[in-house]
């Protein structure tokens, strides 16, 4: 490579992109969080932004309302598989009005994908292919409690995401078809933390699938899924998260929580059904992070 070619190649790399002076001050310093707190990453799989803010405004989600308002964000993908690959690599949902990659607040900064060698202010720079791999190097035990079929280890594709964690758990009672799936997941986790195997900080990923289809059974008399049953599922989930948060704080102490959706879903808007397509209600999701 001659000097001119090398200079052109360098000019195409956005070095220092995340170090611009006009960047907003980060809302949390993950460099202080990592090593001092447990981290709970809770994905409310398929939750739409409009449903989340409607329940927030009506008081239908008193537990989640304790921890601030939902932020309107762009989904990392339009269904579970691409969205989770992005999130597990550090690319969580970004704010709705972001104009370029530097506009997003990165809690986790992958050090080896060409975004620069210095993590932006407030971000935890990690080495490895996933957040979990980076955190394990810093002493965390990483847990996955699955929900949707992409975490069902009875299939080959269902082993991919669980394989990123030191410990992963799924059983049929956690699945989408089970009305009490979130209760079953929370019951399982409460038993786990009541009997700790070792004293280490935990990074827990919990895939809550109650809001995913089918959800008609959360609305009495409903024969098919709808925005109403979607919202009813969220109200059910909120109560179960209250049990998890209270016990986790009691047993585990300081804890940082990331709570978001991975994508939304359609119920007939513009003739569209469900997700895996690019529609505004699929691509617009709620996000918040907070300390217990």
Which tens digit of pLDDT belongs to each residue from 75-106? 999 999 999 999 999 999 999 988 877 778 88
Percent of the chain scoring above 70 in pLDDT: 90
CA neighbor of 148 nearest in space, from 44, 222, 67: 44
pLDDT over 90 (residue 201) = yes
DSSP 26: P
* Token code pair at residue 68: 């601030």
Banded pLDDT at 228 (limits 50, 70, 90): very high
Reported as type and span, the H/E element at residue 285 is strand 284-291
Is the pLDDT at 110 greater than 60? The verdict is: yes
**Structural domains of the chain, ranges and CATH numbers in brackets:** 25-291 (3.40.720.10)
Whole-prediction pTM value?
A: 0.90
Query: Quick one: pLDDT band at residue 216, thresholds 50, 70, 90?
Result: very high
pLDDT score for 22: 58
122: pLDDT confidence band, cut at 50, 70 and 90? confident
Where does residue 68 rank: exposed (0-12), middle (13-18), buried (19+ CB within 10 A)? exposed
Q: How much is the pLDDT for 19?
A: 54
């Amino acid at each position: 490579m001659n000097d001119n070619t090398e200079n052109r190649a360098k000019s195409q790399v956005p070095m220092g992109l995340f170090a611009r002076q006009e960047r907003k001050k980060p809302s949390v310093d993950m460099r202080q969080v990592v090593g001092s707190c447990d981290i709970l990453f809770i994905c409310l799989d398929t939750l739409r932004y409009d449903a989340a803010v409607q329940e927030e405004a009506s008081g239908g989600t008193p537990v989640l309302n304790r921890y601030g308002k939902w932020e309107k964000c762009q989904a990392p993908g339009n269904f579970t598989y691409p969205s989770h690959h992005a999130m597990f690599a550090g690319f969580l949902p970004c704010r709705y009005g972001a104009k370029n990659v530097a506009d997003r607040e990165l809690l986790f900064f992958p050090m080896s994908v060409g975004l620069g060698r210095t993590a932006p202010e407030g971000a935890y720079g990690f080495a490895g292919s996933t957040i979990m791999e980076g955190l394990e190097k810093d002493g965390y035990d990483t847990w996955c409690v699955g929900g949707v079929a992409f975490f069902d280890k009875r299939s080959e594709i269902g082993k991919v995401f669980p394989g990123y964690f030191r410990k992963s758990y799924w059983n049929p009672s956690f699945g989408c078809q089970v009305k009490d799936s979130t209760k079953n997941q929370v019951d399982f986790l409460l038993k786990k933390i009541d009997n700790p195997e070792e004293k280490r900080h935990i990074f827990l990923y919990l895939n809550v699938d109650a809001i995913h289809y089918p959800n008609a059974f959360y609305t009495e008399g409903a024969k098919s899924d709808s925005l109403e049953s979607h919202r009813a599922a969220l109200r059910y989930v909120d109560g179960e998260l209250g049990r998890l948060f209270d016990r986790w704080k009691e047993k585990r102490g300081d804890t940082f929580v990331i709570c978001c959706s991975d994508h939304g879903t359609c119920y007939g808007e513009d003739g569209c059904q469900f997700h895996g397509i690019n529609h505004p209600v699929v691509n617009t999701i709620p996000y918040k992070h907070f300390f217990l």
